[in-house]
Structure 1
Amino acid sequence: MNQLNNEVPMGAIGNIDKEPEINMNEVVGTHDILFVCLDTLRYDVAKEEQDKGTTPYINKYGQWKKCHAPGNFTYPSHHAMFSGFLPSPAEPTPIMERESLFFPKNIGLGNATPKGAFAFEGSTFIEGLSKVGYHTMCIGGVAFFNKRSDIGKVLPSYFEKSYWHPSFSCHIKNSFDNQLDFIERKVKEVENNKRIFMYVNIDAIHYPNNFYLDGAKQDNKDTHAAALKYVDNRIERLFDIFRERGKTFVILCSDHGTCYGEDGYEFHCVSHEIVYTVPYKHFFL
């Protein structure tokens, strides 16, 4: 405890004995794990569509949590998330009351793993899951996953298998449909007794998204919402693919938001509240 006290203010520690919502040590090894990133989805748009009931399939799995992203664009945010540092509560929360699903061994407060977190070995929790027998797969979307450049090879390299195709690109209107067709084929190739960790980068909400709203000439909050509704209308198919395999734990979130002129800012890679405030939820199928 003295080591904890020396590293953080007492007020930040909170209730160390608080029970976590999810014990990942009971999930890892018994469930497939599906991590779905709705790339670029803004919290305010997700919340508005949730409250209006226009995203009924996503709404089935609980309310969005308002969180802060660990980065302000895809590349840094994913490095953090893949290392176990998923979006954190937007409301001030004591460190020891923040739920962690994955946590790297032998770092942090007194080298202690947060209660309920899966302590992984390796530089990413993807590597950690591979070490305990998971088949790890990445279904790319935005250019940081396309393997067409050196930087586009970095994030996919964390996985045993990584896939990208031009038809998954964000400028393709039916990109998520194309990803789903591919995912369905690839999942069927894995034996039922082999656990899967799959990451899916859904980039339909990323710019450009104006083609999801008839008559729109440029991207804005309305076209952003229309892209989200396109994804919502199809996402249950993804969940059904995994339901057929058995028990699945799902992480569903955004990696960052994007600006459409707020305070003079455009798009992301800027530290604006709209950019670093993201929706997050996790649940069991």
Structure 2
Amino acid sequence: MAQSPTARKAQNNYLLIILDSCRYDSFVRARPKVMRSLGKVEKRWSYASWTSPSHYNLLMGLLPHTSPKHVYASEYYKHDILRYNERLGAEDISFRSLVPRLNLPTFLKDSLGYKTHAMVSLPVLNPKTPLNTGFDSYRLMDKHNDMRAMVHELRFHEEQPTFYILNVGETHYPYALPQEPPDQWPRISGVHGVFKHLDDEVVGGKLLKKKDKFFDDKKLAELQARQIKAVKYIDNVVEEMFDLLPKNTYVTITADHGELFGEDGYFGHGPIFHEKVFEVPFVEGKLR
């Protein structure tokens, strides 16, 4: 493949890891040692409140944002896209570089000579959606909660850099680890979910009154504890992954949106406007 002058300057493989539904305080409470080794963990904000629209933004190159005051939105976008020069080990990447397609995999593939791959866990991200644009391969995994299977499928190319997006499902409801039998997963009933079964599980909504259903503070705390446990588990998988990655690899770890565990009467995510749906962790850095 003939590469542009900018492509010859792109030195890094790039992994974008999305912990589905992982809200910021769950990540912090898990204290994941390996993931935190990449750099400072930031509280950022998702552009959307559920999986599909958030991933459209991510694949536009728009990662979860900070919330600066007295800044024009266009200036923030320009500044944020400039960070791709560091992530990719490249030069001269700007917001204008992504126009008119505004599609990160296409830009990486066509302009910088990357091999581009996606492995996703949630059915709403399946390969028949428009998300599958600009990828050499795009795979819906056999299980929704098995990041380790993704790690075993990672392949890198000596002759050109590689980009992966990994949508990780262990942190999504029911917050189940691969070895946990499905009959032991929590089952949620009594949720007013506008898109209740959109991703084969409850997305979220307003809780019914306690007298009508089983929701209580203890049960909701147990559900968040499951998400925290999932983050700790993923940290071990990430440690295994880091041992396999080439050293010239830059890794960004974040979430597509957060989750509600009873705050103001809500559970889950979806068509809900609440800060806990938008709060996500963000940490990134280059392997040394």
Do 1:102 and 1:125's aligned partners in 2 also have CA atoms closer than 8 Å? no
Q: CA RMSD in A?
A: 2.9
Once structures 1 and 2 are overlaid, which stretch shifts more, 206-215 or 135-144? 206-215
TM-score under structure 2 length normalisation:
0.71
SS of alignment partner, residue 157 of structure 1? coil
SS of alignment partner, residue 116 of structure 2? strand
Do 1:33 and 1:197's aligned partners in 2 also have CA atoms closer than 8 Å? yes
2:42 alignment partner in structure 1: 65
SS of alignment partner, residue 132 of structure 2? helix
Structure-1 separation of matches of 2:68 and 2:152: 38
Matched, 1:228 2:194: no
Matched, 1:159 2:130: no
2:23 alignment partner in structure 1: 42
2:251 alignment partner in structure 1: 250
Task: Give the alignment of 1:24-173 within 5 angstroms.
Answer: 29-50=10-31, 55-90=32-67, 92=69, 94-95=71-72, 96=75, 99-101=79-81, 117=94, 119-121=97-99, 122-131=101-110, 132-147=112-127, 150=128, 153-167=129-143, 169-170=144-145
Which of 261, 266, 272 aligns to 2:274? It is 272
User: Per-residue CA shift, 1:100-135, capped at 9, x if unaligned?
Assistant: 1369xxxxxxxxxxx964623533011001112111
Structure-1 separation of matches of 2:152 and 2:7: 31
Q: Give 1 or 2: higher helix fraction.
A: 1
Shift of 1:222: 0.5
Which of 143, 152, 160 aligns to 1:194? It is 160
1:120/1:28 Cα in 2 relative to 1: closer, same or farther (>3 Å)?
Answer: farther
Residue ranges of structure 2 left out of the alignment (5+ in a row): 1-5, 84-91, 188-221
Structure-2 separation of matches of 1:193 and 1:138: 20
1:181 alignment partner in structure 2: 152
Do 1:138 and 1:200's aligned partners in 2 also have CA atoms closer than 8 Å? yes
> Number of paired residues?
231
1:160/1:60 Cα in 2 relative to 1: closer, same or farther (>3 Å)?
Answer: same
1:129/1:202 Cα in 2 relative to 1: closer, same or farther (>3 Å)?
Answer: same
1:213/1:240 Cα in 2 relative to 1: closer, same or farther (>3 Å)?
Answer: closer
Shift of 1:210: 5.1
Q: Which has the higher contact order (CA 8 A, sep 6+)?
A: 2
Do 1:37 and 1:200's aligned partners in 2 also have CA atoms closer than 8 Å? yes
4+ residue runs over 4 A deviation = 25-28, 210-219
1:110 alignment partner in structure 2: none
Matched, 1:203 2:169: yes
SS of alignment partner, residue 70 of structure 1? coil
Shift of 1:154: 2.4
Letter of the 2:139 counterpart = Y
Once structures 1 and 2 are overlaid, which stretch shifts more, 58-67 or 128-137? 58-67
Do 2:116 and 2:137's aligned partners in 1 also have CA atoms closer than 8 Å? yes
Do 1:102 and 1:120's aligned partners in 2 also have CA atoms closer than 8 Å? no
Shift of 1:161: 0.9
Q: Percent identity?
A: 23
Letter of the 1:241 counterpart = L
